Amino acid sequence: MLLRPLRGWAAGALRLVRPGSPRSPASGPRPRGAHRGAWSPDKDRGQEKEKKSVICIEGNIASGKTTCLKFFSNTTDVEVLTEPVHKWRNVHGHNPLGLMYDDASRWGLTLQTYVQLTMLEQHMHPQMTPVRLMERSIYSARYIFVENLYRSGKMPAVDYVVLSEWFDWIIRNIDVSIDLIVYLRTTPETCYQRLKMRCREEEKLIPLEYLDAIHCLYEEWLIKGSLFPVAAPVLVIDADYHMEKMLELFEQNRKRILTPEKRKHGL
């Protein structure tokens, strides 16, 4: 049942793609930002979209993403999109997030299908300000959490392939390009201690080994560059510090995160 809404998105996206645009899977993924103009034949609207920036805040569970987003949330011309966790906890009365943590082998595909759909919604949400900060992205949903389920043996190969095919189709045909990844880099041990302090219901079942696996995948993806393509430049901020120090670091990196001119010339 959860695949039905995603099919609806696919059909809608096909109607929005300009006629004559190449869509052959054999051509491979486009370079980042190459399909920014695919949504509108109007040149001015395309240029208007180009002026807007999308920054994704990435990191392990309890790495400080919420703190970072709250810090910038009152900044002029900045909008914040948090992870739609409330949707993952309640799909017409069902809690696929809780089910997945309870039995990942049974419910991993169910949750990740819905995560992929809701993160796609986040990327496609009309942007009203010059700068958008997003908590994670459709990329980390696939490259980190789906990948972890598969590597840990809790997702069958057929489920992994189906989700991967959906993801590959999305990035070829829909504009989910981003301009910067801010990686809040933490040790698994720090995240584990923070989890125990904040006591969220589903997170009570998360062991240190799970956080370590997520950390390793983030390191492979964003630091070593050996896992999957990186969708944007990466700004790494060490995030093992206490709250006051983290707020200082966010302030020190404000221009690097929020100013488009800084990103155009590299970090």
> Are residues 91 and 114 in contact, defined by beta-carbon separation less than 8 angstroms?
yes
Q: What are the angstrom distances between the C-alpha of 228 and each of 1, 75, 184, 204? A: 29, 32, 18, 30
Q: Which of 143, 233, 147 is nearest to 183 (CA)?
A: 233
On whether 20 is known to bind a ligand per the annotation, the reply is no
Say whether 196 counts as a known binding-site residue: yes
φ, ψ for residue 203 (rounded to 5)? -75, -10
61 known ligand binder = yes
Q: How far apart are CA 137 and CA 56, in angstroms?
A: 6
Active-site choice (50, 58, 83, 135): 135
Residue 198 assigned as binding residue: yes
65 is in an annotated binding site: yes
Q: Is 63 annotated as a binding residue?
A: yes
Strand partners, 183: 58, 236
> Please, what sign has the CA dihedral across residues 236, 128, 122, 228?
negative
Active site (annotated) includes residue 135: yes
119 labelled binding-site residue = no
- Tell me how far apart the alpha carbons of residues 112 and 114 are, in angstroms, rounded to a whole number: 5
Q: Is 194 annotated as a binding residue?
A: yes
By CB atoms closer than 10 A (0-12, 13-18, 19+), residue 23 is: exposed
Residues in the chain, overall count: 267
Known binding residue 59? Answer is yes
Dihedral of alpha carbons 191, 195, 200, 201, sign: positive
Binding-site entries for ATP = 59-67, 194-198
Residues with a known catalytic role = 135
Binding-site entries = 59-67, 194-198
